[in-house]
Amino acid sequence: MPPSGAPGTPALPPAPTPDGSAGRAVIDTNVWLDLYLYDDPGAQALAHALAQGRLQALRTPGTDDELQRVLARPVFAQRLGRRVPGADPVAAAQGLIQRWQNIAIEMAQRGACALVCRDPDDQKFLDLACGAGAAWLFTKDRALLSLAAKARRAGLAIVVPSAYRPDARQDGIGYR
Could you please report the per-residue DSSP string of 20-44? SPPEEEEE-HHHHHHHHTS--GGGH
Give 168 or 10, the one with higher predicted confidence. 168
Nearest to 22 by CA among 40, 41, 48, 43: 48
Range of the domain at 43: 23-59+107-163
Q: Identify whether 80 is part of a domain.
A: no
> Is residue 28 in some structural domain?
yes
Q: What is the pTM of this model?
A: 0.82
Does residue 149 or residue 7 have the better pLDDT? 149
Asked if residue 136 is part of any domain, the answer here is yes
- Paired residues of 56 in beta bridges: 24
Residue 95 placed within a domain: no
With 80 as the cut, is the pLDDT of residue 21 above it? no
Residue 33 lies in a domain: yes
Domain count, the chain: 1
Higher pLDDT, 17 or 55: 55
For helices 74-83 and 89-103, the axis angle rounded to 10 degrees is 90
Answer yes or no: is 127 within a domain.
Answer: yes
Residue 89 resides in a domain: no
Which amino acid, 103?
A: I
Percent of the residues in the chain that have a pLDDT greater than 70, as a whole number? 82
Residue 169 confidence (pLDDT) above 80 = no
Is there a domain that residue 31 lies in? yes
